[in-house]
């Protein structure tokens, strides 16, 4: 089963928690055991798994990424979004999560985040759910 999650971001850098949407797709598919693959088909966005309980963690990640890869530097790419391309490379374009007992097998505090680095935009995450 392949489905898309549509995401509308509101700012240039934003992490959107898509965990509930992923779980809804698993529930819809009726999968008890398998894998959930999340792929982001954008060169200036990514997907990551990190703490979802405390929103300050996401803010800390965003601040650190902005310090590591500033918006303006001596980039050669002329569209003005080179930092977004670099950040998406650091975050990665895919994640795979085990499904067990019909649920994503995430740690207690973990959530799955769509990472926007060049918004606001209309985006998508493509999800493949595979049963054992």
At 53-92, the pLDDT tens digits run 999 999 999 999 999 999 999 999 999 999 999 999 999 9
Mean pLDDT of 86-106: 98
Domain segments of the chain: what residues?
2-131
**pLDDT tens for residues 111-126?**
999 999 999 999 999 9
DSSP-derived secondary structure for the chain: -EEEEEEE--SSSEEEE-HHHHHHHHHHHT-SEEEEEEE---TTEEEEEEE-S-HHHHHHHHHHHHHHS-SSSS-S-TTS-HHHHHHHHHH-SEEEEEEETTEE---TTEEEEEEESS-S-EEEEEEEEEE-
Residue 1 binned pLDDT confidence (cut-offs 50, 70, 90): confident
- CATH classification number, 2-131, choose in 2.60.120.460, 3.30.70.60, 2.40.420.20, 3.40.605.10: 2.60.120.460
For residue 64, the model assigns a pLDDT of 98
- Residue 104: predicted pLDDT: 98
- Tens-place pLDDT, residues 15-44: 999 999 999 999 999 999 999 999 999 999
pLDDT-based confidence at 7, cuts 50/70/90?
very high
Rounded to two decimals, the pTM is 0.96
Q: What is the mean pLDDT of residues 4-24?
A: 98
């Amino acid at each position: 089963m392949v489905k898309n999650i549509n995401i509308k971001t509101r700012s240039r850098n934003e992490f959107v928690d898509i965990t509930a949407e992923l779980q809804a797709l698993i529930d819809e598919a009726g999968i008890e055991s398998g894998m959930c693959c999340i792929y982001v088909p954008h060169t200036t966005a990514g997907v990551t798994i990190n703490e979802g309980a405390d929103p300050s963690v996401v803010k800390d990640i965003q601040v650190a990424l902005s310090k590591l890869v500033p918006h303006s530097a001596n980039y050669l790419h002329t569209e003005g979004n080179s930092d977004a391309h670099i950040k998406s490379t650091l975050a990665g374009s895919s994640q795979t999560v085990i499904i067990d007992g019909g649920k994503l097998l995430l740690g207690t505090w973990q959530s799955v985040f769509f990472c926007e680095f060049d918004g606001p935009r209309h985006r998508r995450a493509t999800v493949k759910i595979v049963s054992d």
